[in-house]
Structure 1
Amino acid sequence: MYIPDIYKNENQEEIKNFIHDNGFAILVNQTNGKLWATHIPLLLEEDNDGKSILVGHISRENPQGESFKTNTNILAIFSGPHSYISSSWYDHENVPTWNYTAVHVYGNIKILNLEESINSLKNLVDKYEINSKNPVRVEDMSKETMRQAIGIIAFEIEIISIDAVKKMSQNRDTKNYENIILELEKTGNVIDKQVAQEMKKCPR
């Protein structure tokens, strides 16, 4: 991913938190001679050696799963809040742009066995059920329901490298920067407000 230096995010703790908070990713690889993408939740975990890995699963019917056996190279894309930035918000003539945050994770994929697959399902469900009034637990599901686990291909991704971008108008002076925040907050759009909050936290 091309990232101008001013927008590079190299804060590892911030990147980990970003992946945790924006866990619905796009998994990309070469499948049957063409680029293939699947939208799935991925968990950031640690392996037995303390190295960061991504864990997830896809349907066994998804052709992408078969390609994992011969092509282990993978790209996982995580996207955060993003907004159109009108140049009418500046005190000078310029072009419109877009503010956004994203993380690209490159790695090698390894298919998990059935026991590991079920454990990965437990972790995924636990993460997203934590605020539920009556949380669902994989451990409480019937054997009949859990037979569906054979219909998935679970995997872990060994992380080779990470590219992280945080483009939040860092190239603007204080006056225009603050005005962009005000204009985003005035739109009434929830995502615009999230971008405004990110801008307030962004070091300049």
Structure 2
Amino acid sequence: MFIPEKYKNNDQKDIRNFLKSNSFGILINTINGKPWGTHIPLELSTNSANEEILVGHIAKANLQSKNLVNGDQVLCIFNGPHSYISSSWYRDEEVPTWNYIAVHVYGTVKIQNNDELLAALNTLVDTYEKASEHPISLKDMSPRTMRQITGIIGFEITIDDIQAVKKLSQNRTHDHPKIISALEKQGPSEKAVAEEMKKQSPNDY
């Protein structure tokens, strides 16, 4: 993706933390010459060769699944907080803009076998059930319920390239206090952008 140098995020630890915290992404491939996207969990992990991978699954009824094959090249998009930035918050006249955080992951598909799919589903459910008051486990579900797994395919995506952008008004640091103050008076996404901006210059806040 297009990333001006001043907005490029090269902090590899920060990028991995972002992928883990914003794992509901968009899987994109091409079907009959047209781009196709599906919104699904894509969990950052490693394979037996200690290579970084994304792990996911998709319904067989989804046309995209019929075009996912071993060796296929795909793009996965992950979005973080974003917000409109009014130029009324600037010291000098300028056009408005948008602040946001996003990561694009390019990779190569490997279709999972049934055992790999089941293991990945157990890991996924166990991870997110930790926050539940009464967590469930796939291991406790009946064979009848678990037959639903036959309706999906699982896959791993070996990561070939990561592109990360963090556009947080880096070119207007003198306006940060007013921008942050304005964002903190708005909704959750705007407040999250304000918090990310504070991290850029933590000693100032």
Question: Does TM, normalized by the shorter one, top 0.5?
Answer: yes
Q: Percent identity?
A: 53
Counterpart of 2:63 in structure 1: which amino acid?
P
Matched residues in 1 for 2:200 and 2:58: separation?
35
Deviations 1:107-127 (A, max 9, x none): 011110111111111111112
Preserved contact between residue 32 and residue 67 of structure 1 (Cα < 8 Å): no
Q: Which SS does the other structure have where 1:58 is aligned?
A: strand
Counterpart of 1:37 in structure 2: which amino acid?
G
Q: How does 1:140-151 map to 2 (within 5 A)?
A: 140-151=140-151
Q: CA deviation at 1:142?
A: 1.1
Matched, 1:195 2:193: yes
Matched, 1:81 2:47: no
Counterpart of 2:74 in structure 1: which amino acid?
I
203 and 72 in structure 1: CA distance in 2 versus 1, 3 angstrom threshold? farther
Unmatched runs of 5 consecutive residues or more in structure 2: none
TM (norm. structure 1) is 0.96
Preserved contact between residue 74 and residue 109 of structure 2 (Cα < 8 Å): yes
Q: CA deviation at 1:139?
A: 1.2
Matched residues in 2 for 1:18 and 1:186: separation?
24
Matched residue count = 202
TM (norm. structure 2) is 0.95
Between 1:165-174 and 1:97-106, the stretch displaced more is 165-174
Preserved contact between residue 54 and residue 157 of structure 1 (Cα < 8 Å): yes
Q: How does 1:56-71 map to 2 (within 5 A)?
A: 56-69=56-69
2:18 maps to 18
2:139 maps to 139
Matched residues in 2 for 1:43 and 1:193: separation?
26
Preserved contact between residue 30 and residue 71 of structure 1 (Cα < 8 Å): no
Q: Which SS does the other structure have where 2:184 is aligned?
A: helix
Matched, 1:167 2:191: no
Matched residues in 1 for 2:135 and 2:169: separation?
40
Matched residues in 2 for 1:30 and 1:202: separation?
37
Matched residues in 1 for 2:71 and 2:96: separation?
40
* CA-atom RMSD in angstroms: 1.3
1:36 maps to 36
Q: Which runs of 4+ in 1 moved over 3 A?
A: none
1:27 maps to 27
Q: Which SS does the other structure have where 1:9 is aligned?
A: coil
Unmatched runs of 5 consecutive residues or more in structure 1: none
Q: CA deviation at 1:32?
A: 2.5
